[in-house]
Structure 1
Amino acid sequence: MKNLVEHLSQYASYHRDPRNIATHFVGIPMIVVAVTVLLSRPGLDVGGLWLSPAFVAALASVWFYLRLDLRFGVVMSALLGACLWAGQALAVQSTSVWLVAGLGLFFVGWVIQFVGHYYEGRKPAFVDDISGLIVGPLFVVAELAFMLGMRPELKAAVEHNAGPVAIREKKAAV
């Protein structure tokens, strides 16, 4: 299994333009919430705990994140817990509310992602490695930590492997 630096470095290599990174701060959370909402049906309330496919997927994701890094794993657990809460809140609404919320967030989130990749001039990371779908949310959390001055050793290792964040200039068509 790849370690934290390897996962983040590979994902970061597709995300070095700050405009692309900025779109990921909006698009990825929208997509994660959307997937959680859509997987929150069918569900069953067992003693105040909403058991659904989203709960199973969140548990598997938390296990992945905690194995990579305890600190980020705890943060990801809290964020996924909030997503599960939102998913359950929408899952108990009418089918149309549940679907419009889930599909709307999913569609808009991906549009925002593709705008970012237009600036980057590269395809999304998951096209070459499906693990990019689970690493993406972790990347957003790591980038936020880096912006806050946290985990400088991790930031240095990722930038050593993936290169610095810099605006990518579009190449003129010949």
Structure 2
Amino acid sequence: MRRELVSLDKIISDYESYHKDPLNIKIHIICVPLIILSVVGILNAIPVAWGPVRIGHVVCFLYFSYYIFFARPYLLSCFTLFAVLIAADFLLAKLPSQLYLSINISIFVVCWILQFWGHKKEGNKPAFIDNKETAIHSTFMAPIMVIRHIKNLV
């Protein structure tokens, strides 16, 4: 059975259908970038012998690759968001390593708790849990949704 490619508009529309409650949207606007920051930080705390390149940077590259191939209209906005987050991580990485890792783990846990609470308040599951078929897309759509909502605020 051949699968059809789903359009970007359909993927975004499906993802945003899980985020209608204004409070849940605000939680995501704050927490999605912080979760990305914390994941980059946690992964960058893993020692590797790749010189200045860290695992978190590789993950950012994977996101950019996705946006180049599947979400080109959002590439510049996503690149800007990730550049800010990488710069923030660079500053945080100057902290002692245990503190750096503790801050990132704390941000990760608190933000996920807030997002699950936002979805519970809204009365639905997160898109990546509810729709296994689009779980991978959901991971990449979260920053796009944040950017779309920030643009609507400005």
TM range (shorter): 0.7 to 0.9
Shift of 1:7: 1.6
**1:138 counterpart residue number:** 144
TM-score, normalised by the number of residues in structure 2: 0.82
In structure 1, how many angstroms separate the alpha carbons of the residues matched to 2:147 and 2:81?
10
* Higher mean C-alpha deviation, range 72-81 or range 90-99: 90-99
- In 2, the alpha carbon distance for the partners of 1:45 and 1:92 equals 19
**8 Å CA contact retained: 1:8, 1:135:** yes
Identity within the alignment, % = 26
Structure 1 CA distance for aligned equivalents of residues 152 and 26 of structure 2: 13
Stretch moving more, 125-134 or 54-63: 125-134
> Does 1:126 pair with 2:128?
yes
What is the total number of aligned residue pairs between the two structures? Answer: 145
Deviation at 1:5, TM superposition (A): 0.6
Distance 1:44 1:92 in 2: 19
Q: 1:28 aligns to what? A: 32
Q: 1:61 corresponds to which residue?
A: 63
Q: Return the offset for 1:68.
A: 3.2
Report the counterpart of residue 94 of structure 1 in structure 2: 96
Residue equivalent to 2:115: 113
Equivalent in the alignment of 1:52: 54
Structure 1 unaligned residues grouped into runs of 5+: 149-174
Find the aligned partners of 1:43 and 1:138 in 2 and give their Cα distance. 30
1:28-68 superposed Cα distances (whole Å, 9 cap, x missing partner): 1111111111111336796xxx4101111101101212333
Three-state SS of the structure 1 residue aligned to 2:44 is: coil
The equivalent of 1:40 in structure 2 is 44
Q: Give the counterpart letter for 1:83 in structure 2.
A: L
Cα distance between partner residues in 1 of 2:111 and 2:49? 28
Match of residue 79 from structure 2? 77
Give the Cα–Cα distance (whole angstroms) in 2 for the partners of residues 24 and 104 of structure 1: 17
TM-score scaled to structure 1, two decimals?
A: 0.74
Structure 2 stretches lacking a partner, 5+ long: none
> Which structure has the highest helix share of the two?
2
> Which stretch shows the higher mean deviation, 98-107 or 80-89?
80-89
Instruction: State yes or no: 1:15 paired with 2:15.
Output: no
Query: Which residue type is aligned with residue 138 of structure 1?
Result: I
Equivalent in 102, 105, 115 of residue 103 of structure 1: 105
Q: CA deviation at 1:80?
A: 0.9
Name which one, 1 or 2, has greater alpha-carbon Rg.
1
Q: 1:147 to 1:67 in 2, by over 3 A?
A: farther
One-letter amino acid matched to 2:80: A
State the secondary structure of the residue aligned to 1:2.
coil
- 1:157 matched residue in structure 2: none
Q: What residue in structure 2 maps to residue 6 of structure 1? A: 10
